[in-house]
Amino acid sequence: MSESVIVGLDIDNVSDLKETLNGAMDVMFDYIIIPLVHQRNERDLTGVERNVPLTRSDLVLTAQSWSSYVVGKISPWLNFDSKVEKIRLNSRMAFKQEIAWASHLSLTAILLPYPEWDCANYASCVLSTLLNISGSALWVEVPLISPKKMMLLNQQDEEVQLSKEWDSWECWNKMRTLCMVR
């Protein structure tokens, strides 16, 4: 049995997608991970419509390149479990819009942001997507150490009691459990 390692390059800001993809392939990356929508394009889908494009054209790359070498990254600003209803609704609508775009591109995978401890609405959106999407895998980004835990550890306070919500595996496991189809 032959073993292989597949390595991707995560890029936060892409000015020339074709050139970026070619450069990554030249140095032996198997795929690139790019934001589906530019980071500055935080959209308010619950209010006034803007007449601006969502993102770059799908004609920048061939269909083969999109489906074989690109993983789309969902916007990190989405907050499905906000206490503010408008933010929750806007996040849900933007998520659906980005998933639809990724499906249109026939991406092999879509990278989802790290779940916070309170992730019931986020998990609901992911579960709904899992039940309705075909052809794309959903990957969830899980850091080895959660950003909140890193902040606490950097304070070097030995009195700090870490709860489950500060553990990245616990957050992932909670979301995974909420997304299980029964």
Residue burial 79-118, b: 16+ Cβ < 10 Å; e: rest: bbbeeeeebbebbbebbebbbebbbebebbbbbbbbbbbe
**β-bridge pairing 70-73 and 137-140:** unpaired
**For the CA atoms of the chain, what is the radius of gyration?**
18
**Best CA proximity match to 79, nearest among 120, 39, 41, 111:** 120
Alpha-carbon 84 to chain mean position? 22
> Are 133 and 103 spatial neighbours (Cβ–Cβ below 8 Å)?
yes
Which residue ranges form the domains of the chain, and what is each CATH number?
8-45+53-178 (3.20.20.150)
Q: pLDDT truncated to tens, each residue of the chain (182 aa)?
A: 557 888 999 998 888 889 999 999 999 999 999 999 876 666 666 655 666 556 776 777 889 998 999 999 999 889 999 999 998 998 999 899 999 999 999 999 999 998 888 889 999 999 999 888 888 899 988 878 766 666 666 665 555 555 666 677 888 888 889 988 65
